[in-house]
Amino acid sequence: MSKLRQSRTGGEKQTLQNALTATEQQIDALVYEVYGLTEKKIKLVEEKT
């Protein structure tokens, strides 16, 4: 997160934000898999966040 704050250009910030978003999505998918969540349960979780 500190690299995002330190970035100087809009393009650099966007690149870092895209990487952060992709990483968060990968983590979510792994957690859902570990807990064996169904699509229905995943939708419930994502609606509450």
Domain extents in the chain:
2-48
Torsional sign, CA 31, 36, 39, 42:
negative
pLDDT tens, residue by residue, 1-49: 567 677 678 888 899 999 999 999 999 999 999 999 999 999 998 998 7
CB count within 10 Å of CB 8 equals: 7
